[in-house]
């Protein structure tokens, strides 16, 4: 298609859901654009393939950051899926929605229509739950969600240890209650990854009104006056233009969407002028409000074989064979198999810590996997208060934008992580885990006070691979998009991805991103 009614820019978790749903109306044409390629090979279908996909620039943007003084001046790479399905095609497949308080907080802050009771129907509309009938789950939707097919035995032990340490065990964390510990669900079916591309785009392969253009870099949105009328892309080094009869929807993520807006002339006016970009709409908040989960890797050695010691060529070959024949074994497993949401302080109304349990152990010395069996629990500030920004490096689409973030700038974030570590020390001392612990890995010697732990956190903290917030939704004039996700100050242009989140939910962001795609499709139909 050179012309379509709707152009969706970005084939990630949200973009695939949105394009798939919009194309269900056979009277409307939809063009989905994605910089990456299709992801249907065995390594893409296999959940454990994420260990191979995440470091691969063919499937991951691997955005570099500026030096961050809050983590000792270190730079890092931020992950963003570069394939049809986006993050859902390369991530660990963890399915979490967040808590009722997250979305009710959005609505209370001016995002009408985004409270928990408003968004739950879209989570359910998306879902094809493989478990027993439940009021919090639905069957028949495009997105397969299931329990771990071959969980590691210590995942359940971690949840038991949380309970023994005085924390709740959550029987159904998808109900909006995330205040406790649980073994998490995955977006998979019978041991195969179920990305948003597999859920929404592959079943639509035969629709004549849906075209998917992969391997393209979107340069900018085209405007006539203040109305978006199409996009300019780079295909094999050559520019091409595509026209939108009705709307352009940016779904390029929290790094890609603000960068495209700014290259198109929608963003902070002074910055755009400095970059030589003609200003269409002075929107100072574009690229601001950047949030990421700061994460500290706490690790202990155990007496039970874990995935890192099984990552030997002979063992991997056996596990791959088991996967091909039976769709079982280590290759069906996600890196995170149990989660606990806790409070760092008893006076908090809601959890501010996420503990993500993984049955493997890294080796800091070699920067690889440890030779000894071990488990790692990532201690994460689940509702971060630190902020950063996205800026243009140049007006060229081939130049990755500037990521300038202060991961641990706000004292509450590092306080939450240190508080989470204190809880984790008690959890590992609980009988369900203590019987398996054989030593300390990270850190080898625990600090004796909070100042020592803070230094440890600043030394090793990294991100949770879940940036949000750079095209903030709100009812105030400064917000980038209104609650209908329409870009303020222009016409025919929306942003629909996790960049619209005003604040980070207590969740991995793929499932909320799919929910946003479902809800946006419904809003577009209602507007039409």
Element (H, E) at 53: helix 50-53
What number is the average pLDDT over the span 504-527? 97
What number is the average pLDDT over the span 164-176? 97
> What is the bridge-based pairing of β-strands 3-9 and 238-250?
parallel
What number is the average pLDDT over the span 195-202? 97
Q: What's the mean per-residue pLDDT of the chain?
A: 96
What number is the average pLDDT over the span 110-116? 98
SS3 for 407-451 is: CCCCHHHHHHHHHHHHHHHHHHHCHHHHCCEEEEEECCCCCCCHH
The pLDDT of residue 1 is above 80: no
- The string of pLDDT tens digits covering residues 440-457 is 999 999 999 999 999 999
- The string of pLDDT tens digits covering residues 377-408 is 999 999 999 999 999 999 999 999 999 999 99
Three-state DSSP at 346 gives coil
As a dihedral over the C-alpha atoms of residue 319, residue 152, residue 79, residue 368, rounded to 10 degrees, the angle is: -70
- The string of pLDDT tens digits covering residues 328-367 is 999 998 899 999 999 999 999 999 999 999 999 999 999 9
Tell how far CA 232 is from the center of its chain.
Answer: 27
- Out of 1.10.540.10, 3.40.47.10, 3.30.410.40, 3.60.110.10, the CATH code matching 149-183+294-383+410-460 is 3.30.410.40
Q: What is the pTM assigned to this prediction? A: 0.97
Q: How far apart are CA 169 and CA 131, in angstroms?
A: 19
Give the pair of three-digit tokens for residue 190. 């019978």
Q: Which CATH class is domain 1-144+194-292+386-408+467-528?
A: alpha beta
- The string of pLDDT tens digits covering residues 280-305 is 999 999 999 999 999 999 999 999 99
The pLDDT of residue 241 is above 90: yes
Domain range summary for the chain, segments of one domain joined by +: 1-144+194-292+386-408+467-528, 149-183+294-383+410-460
Percent of the chain with pLDDT over 90: 94
């Amino acid at each position: 298609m050179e012309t379509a009614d709707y152009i969706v820019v970005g084939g990630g978790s949200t973009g695939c859901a949105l394009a798939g749903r919009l194309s269900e109306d056979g009277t409307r044409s939809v063009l989905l654009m994605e910089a990456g390629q299709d992801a249907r090979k065995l390594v893409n279908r296999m959940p454990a393939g994420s260990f191979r996909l995440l470091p691969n620039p063919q499937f991951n943007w691997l955005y570099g950051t500026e030096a961050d003084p809050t983590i000792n001046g270190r730079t890092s790479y931020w992950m963003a899926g570069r394939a049809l399905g986006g993050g859902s095609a390369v991530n660990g497949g963890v399915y979490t929605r967040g808590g009722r308080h997250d979305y009710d907080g959005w609505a209370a802050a001016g995002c009408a229509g985004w409270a928990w009771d408003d968004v739950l129907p879209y989570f359910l509309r998306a879902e094809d739950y493989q478990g027993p009938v439940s009021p919090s789950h639905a069957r028949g939707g495009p997105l397969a969600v299931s329990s771990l097919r071959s969980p590691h035995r210590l995942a359940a032990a971690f949840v038991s240890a949380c309970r023994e340490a005085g924390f709740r065990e959550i029987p159904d964390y998808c109900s909006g209650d995330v205040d406790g510990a649980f073994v998490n669900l995955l977006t998979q079916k019978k041991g195969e990854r179920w990305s948003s591309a597999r859920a929404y785009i592959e079943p639509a392969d035969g629709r004549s009104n849906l075209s998917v253009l992969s391997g393209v870099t979107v340069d900018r949105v085209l405007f006539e006056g203040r109305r978006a009328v199409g996009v300019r892309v780079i295909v094999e080094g050559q520019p091409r233009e595509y026209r939108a009869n009705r709307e352009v929807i940016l779904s390029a993520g929290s790094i890609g969407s603000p960068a495209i807006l700014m290259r198109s002339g929608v963003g902070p006016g002074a910055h755009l002028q400095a970059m030589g970009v003609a200003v269409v709409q002075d929107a100072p908040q574009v690229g601001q409000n950047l949030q990421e989960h700061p994460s500290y890797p706490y690790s202990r050695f155990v007496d039970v074989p874990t995935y890192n010691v099984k990552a030997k060529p002979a063992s991997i070959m056996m596990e791959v064979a088991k996967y091909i024949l039976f769709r079982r074994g280590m290759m069906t497993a996600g890196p995170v198999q149990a989660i606990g949401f806790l409070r760092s302080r008893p006076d908090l109304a809601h959890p501010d810590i996420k503990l993500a349990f993984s049955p493997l152990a890294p080796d800091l010395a070699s920067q690889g996997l440890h030779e000894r069996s071990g488990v790692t629990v990532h201690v994460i500030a689940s509702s971060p208060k630190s902020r950063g920004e996205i800026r243009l490096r140049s007006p060229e689409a081939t130049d990755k934008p500037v990521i300038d973030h202060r991961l641990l700038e706000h004292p509450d974030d590092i306080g939450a992580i240190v508080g989470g570590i204190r809880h984790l020390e008690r959890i590992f001392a609980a009988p369900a885990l203590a019987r398996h612990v054989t030593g300390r890995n990270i850190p080898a010697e625990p600090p004796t006070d909070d100042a020592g732990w803070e230094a440890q956190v600043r030394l090793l903290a990294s991100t949770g691979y879940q940036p949000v917030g750079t095209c903030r939704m709100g009812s105030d004039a400064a917000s980038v998009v209104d609650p209908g996700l329409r870009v303020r100050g222009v016409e025919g242009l929306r942003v629909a991805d996790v960049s619209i989140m005003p604040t980070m939910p207590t969740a991995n962001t793929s499932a909320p991103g799919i929910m946003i795609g479902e809800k946006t499709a419904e809003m577009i139909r209602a507007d039409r």
